[in-house]
Amino acid sequence: MDAPDPSPAVRDGVHTPRRHDSAEKHVAGSALYADDVAEAPGTLHGAFGLATIARGRVTALDLAPVHAAPGVVAVLTADDVPGLNDTGPVVHDEVFLAASEATQSGEVNFHGQPLFLVAAETRHAARRAARLARVKYAEEPPILTVDEAMAAGSRVAEPYRMARPDAQGRDADAAIAAAPRRLAGRLAIGGQEHFYLEGQVALATPGEDADLHILTSNQHPSECQLVVAHVLGLPAHAITVEVRRMGGGFGGKETQGNQTAAAAALIAHRTRRPAKVRLDRDDDMVTTGKRHDFVIDWEAGFDDTGGLHGIRFTQMARCGWSLDLSNAICDRAMFHADNCYHLPAVEIVSHRLRTNTASATAFRGFGGPQGMVGIERVMDEIAFALGRDPLEVRRANFYDPPGRPRGRSTTPYHMEVEDCVIAEIVDDLAARAGYEGRRAEIREANAASPIIKRGIALTPVKFGISFTTTFLNQAGALVHTYQDGSVMLNHGGTEMGQGLFVKVAQVAASELGLDLERVKITATRTDKVPNTSATAASSGSDMNGMAVKDACGKLKARLASFAARHWVVAEHAIDFLPGAIRAGGEVVAWETLIREAYLARVPLSATGFYATPKIHWDRVNARGRPFYYFAYGAAVTEAAIDTLTGESRILRADILHDVGRSLNPAIDLGQIEGGYVQGVGWLTSEELWWDGSGRLRTHAPSTYKIPACSDRPRVLNMALWEKGMNRELTIRRSKAVGEPPLMLAISALHALSDAVAAAGDYRAYPALDAPATPERILAAVERVRHG
């Protein structure tokens, strides 16, 4: 292993807890979001007219009442789109405005699909007018569920398969058949609404010629730039997209923000007036995508120790009406069907199913959580069948630890796991949390408690870090140094509350030997750093930190060369100190160095670039190295249920997570806590429900239950794993922390399952699906008691 990178001793450099750069602004209400920016005189407001059926055709479209409504300036349909009437991020299958006023036609694919767009003098006028359209449909029966889509052969993409034989050359079928024991099952995993605090919003301002500036809440400014350019039939250089911060994203603004941006841009382009589109919360939830629902069938062969011999998964995902990012998401679910476990002979088949629901999209974990829930169910059910502690079975199947090969390190996609520290983390956490003693105490207490039953579970996490679409693993940066020595920093990452900006600024300050206050963080803009990737896949700090490091390295090299000439010393005699340099025997303040360099016409601006090394992926043969490294963690959750009502509560959680050498421990701990709680919400209370006509009924805070403050465990013990160190050459040997903590919440689902099993005196396996709502818990209690 290479030695760790040196860390300059500057105040608030890397590896130092530092509060979020916008923390005070958030508390004071002075942080500017897209909707807070002062509107220019004449700004128009947009609203969509939405379909009221889930599947069918428009047969008549009367927009006269909309045109005549007070304050309306324009009503736009597919006829008014000058370029491509599509906002699909990967393929062109996502119609922007579905209806044509000229032909009185249009195809409807889900309830809430935008048919047309209204521009009015006020937002309320636009929203009121959009509901005045008279639309007639030829309605068809919608396809809404996984089972319906499978039966109809309704797909957004062809099925995909990964497989690997065991050491004896047996495929999954043969290994399962030859195993001493076999089990099979099915589980259902619900979707999840992003419920970002700031909804979808964009403000478009026309400039000279056909130029447009778009201020938006968007995780992928470069993609937004291209989508808008295509819709308007313009070159990308005519569109500048800016993102200062988002009030949450969680993947819901990776592609889904493009439609809102395109709507504002179309209005501004047609009217040459500034235009804003901000979705109402109900419209936001109805029209935008969610986490993919999954149904997973599995069959496993194993021995009396719980060791797997062979396993087969069939993953069926509800993808909604268009492809969006479903291929990559479903691929990642397959990549994480192993979690931390070596699967000796394995087959994974994925079905990507088209339904008449809003197109499912990216959500924190990007398919990984669904894949992990599948294998954790298998581990739990095997343990129950054997009468063993589930942790024993999990330990029996872990990948080999570094330096101790047993031939158990190859993933189903033929990547070698070289950094598996999960056994050590799990042992450490089990001891800290007193897992074994508490498990025994809970079982004893349950025997004496007829109504309230408690459960406990420890589950691990292994999450691959990199975009599985290889070309996205690149980042750029721009670093300016001004005459007074202050520094302005720009990069392609976006800030959605996760602390990316302060982390990358800490990298810049540390590289240049400056206090953090000397570094200014600026909004992400496509005219500063072009062709950037989405802030997603947990790679924001990894990639943008390295790009900034590259830019700072170029600046330092120029400054060192200049200083050697100016102070007449050998270049190797130039040392960078905190806030200064040493040139031979003389210490020169940073400000003096920059002033002298400027006078000598030394360039004080540099671009940086980073491309993640080592990764490659052969999709045809389903083999390669899609991930640069893995992030690990584990959680113990204790929960209780009321067997009369099905209500539940998370009582305690103990978490130990590996972030390598943390760039900012305070930010990382916040991400771990937030990720865990968000994951608990997904697996316990957040239920999406469409009625038989395809209308989303859980479309507001009144009908959709995200975790509240009181749902946080009463006892929450979190720690960063002290031994953490990335074996790969990442920025200061840190590891990504955005997505992996969400999957720590799988322990909560299994703690609830353990509590349900107690209600039947551990005689029957609960087979508890997610989300584990009170209704599902109560039904599971009835099953384990009465069969």
Active site residues: 739
Please check whether residue 454 is in contact with residue 651, taking contact to mean a CB–CB distance below 8 angstroms.
Answer: yes
| Strand order through the sheet with 105-108 | 99-100, 105-108, 56-62, 134-139
Please check whether residue 208 is in contact with residue 327, taking contact to mean a CB–CB distance below 8 angstroms.
Answer: no
d(CA 380, CA 231): 49
- The enclosing H or E element of 425 equals helix 422-433
Please check whether residue 725 is in contact with residue 660, taking contact to mean a CB–CB distance below 8 angstroms.
Answer: yes
d(CA 682, CA 684): 6
Angle value at C-alpha 239, between 235 and 243, nearest 5 degrees: 145
Q: In the Cβ-directed half-sphere of 362, how many Cα atoms lie within 13 Å? A: 23
- The enclosing H or E element of 99 equals strand 99-100
End-to-end CA distance of the chain: 55
CA distances from 574 to 399, 468, 483, 559, 587 (A): 47, 42, 21, 9, 10
A 10 A CB-CB count for 526 gives 23
> Are β-strands 293-302 and 648-657 bridged in parallel, bridged antiparallel, or unpaired?
unpaired
d(CA 742, CA 752): 17
A 10 A CB-CB count for 107 gives 13
Q: At what angle do helices 590-599 and 540-566 cross, to 10 degrees?
A: 70
What sign has the CA pseudo-torsion 98, 99, 105, 108? positive
Which residues lie closer than 8 Å to 258 by C-beta, 6 or more apart? 87, 89, 218, 220, 223, 224, 227, 228
d(CA 771, CA 686): 7
Left, alpha or beta for 250 (phi > 0: left; psi -120 to 50: alpha)? left
> Are β-strands 212-216 and 293-302 bridged in parallel, bridged antiparallel, or unpaired?
unpaired
Residues written for the chain? 787
Angle value at C-alpha 579, between 573 and 585, nearest 5 degrees: 30
Biggest CA pair distance of the chain: 89
Which residues lie closer than 8 Å to 693 by C-beta, 6 or more apart? 53, 54, 111, 142
Burial of 529 (0-12, 13-18, 19+ CB in 10 A): buried
CA distances from 218 to 20, 222, 289, 544 (A): 20, 10, 14, 17
d(CA 23, CA 31): 9
Tokens of 190: 């619900």
Please check whether residue 318 is in contact with residue 355, taking contact to mean a CB–CB distance below 8 angstroms.
Answer: yes
Strands (E) across 602-721 are located at: 605-611, 616-618, 623-625, 629-642, 648-657, 715-720
> Are β-strands 519-521 and 487-491 bridged in parallel, bridged antiparallel, or unpaired?
parallel
Please check whether residue 12 is in contact with residue 18, taking contact to mean a CB–CB distance below 8 angstroms.
Answer: yes
* Cis status, amide bond into 771, omega within 30 of 0: yes
DSSP 715-770: EEEEEE-TT---SS--GGGB---SSGGGGGGHHHHHHHHHHHHHHTTT-S-----B
